[in-house]
Amino acid sequence: MQIVQLISLWLIPSIIAFVLLYGTYKRVPTYEAFVEGGKEGIQIAFSLIPYLVGMLVSIAIFRTSGALDYFIQFVKPLVDPFGLPSEVIPLAIIRPISGTASLGIVTDLIATYGPDSFIGRLASTIQGSTETTLYVLTVYFGAVGIRKMGDALKVGLLADAISFILSFFIVLLIFGR
């Protein structure tokens, strides 16, 4: 399992070195291209602010009022036998529906339990390893005018469920509790 942690450590430096070498070899004005692309990053971060403010406030109300705890207590007996922390169940439910809402929940979990806790690592992995199925379906099918989606939704949601369970086992295997 050392290999997975080695990937984590070496992936970014290797990509940086490779992209810079390849860019120089292909005579791309590397520095100017970097600056050009970076501007896009500022835009994305700023446009994220209203989404995140809206979601985090709503989640905070739900959590501090005690409603979230009530919900977690409710699902606890269902997931406890499998060793799943019931705190991540809301994330699993929201993840396929809304990307910003789940990003809000991940932030909330990391803030509450710490980024290096089991829940923090699990939430990070779940958020990163799947896309927002409902959003992708709506945008892609909507853009080209497909009305009958066939099995697409079922396939997407089943894959999300599997990805969630896989994330749990992999985080457990690599980091332990």
Question: What part of residues 20-79 is at the interface with another protein (CB under 8 A)?
Answer: 20, 22-23, 25-26, 28, 30, 33-42, 44-46, 48-49, 52-67, 70
The amino acid sitting at 172 is L
* Nearer residue to another protein within complex by CB, 3 or 81: 3
* Contact residue for another protein among 77, 81, 145, 176 (CB under 8 A): 145
Query: Residue 34: which residues within 8 A CB-CB, separation 6 or more?
Result: none
With tokens 């860019």, the residue in question is 23
* d(C-alpha 73, C-alpha 62), whole Å: 14
HSE-CB at 57 with a 13 A cutoff on CA atoms is 6
Determine the Cα–Cα distance for residues 22 and 27; give it in Å rounded to an integer: 9
Task: Figure out which of the listed residues 80, 167, 176, 177 binds another protein, where binding follows CB under 8 A.
Answer: 167
Q: Which two tokens stand for residue 45?
A: 């971060």
Q: By CB under 8 A, name the one of 77, 82, 144, 177 that touches another protein.
A: 144
Of residues 86, 94, 118, 119, which one binds another protein by CB under 8 A? Answer: 94
Among 89, 155, 176, 177, binds another protein (CB under 8 A): 155
Total interface residues for another protein by CB under 8 A: 108
Minimal distance in Å, beta carbon 107 to another protein?
A: 6
Binding mask 108-137 for another protein (x = CB under 8 A): --xx--xxx---xx--xxxxxxxxxxx-xx
Least distance (Å) between residue 153 CB and another protein: 9
- Asked whether the beta carbons of 73 and 56 are under 8 A apart, the reply is no
Member of 77, 150, 176, 177 binding another protein (CB under 8 A): 150
Q: Which amino acid is at 148?
A: K
Between 78 and 139, CB nearer to another protein: 139
Measured CA to CA in angstroms, residue 152 lies from 128, 147, 162 at distances of: 21, 12, 15
CB nearer to another protein: give 79 or 136: 136
Distance between CA atoms of 150 and 16, rounded to whole angstroms? 41
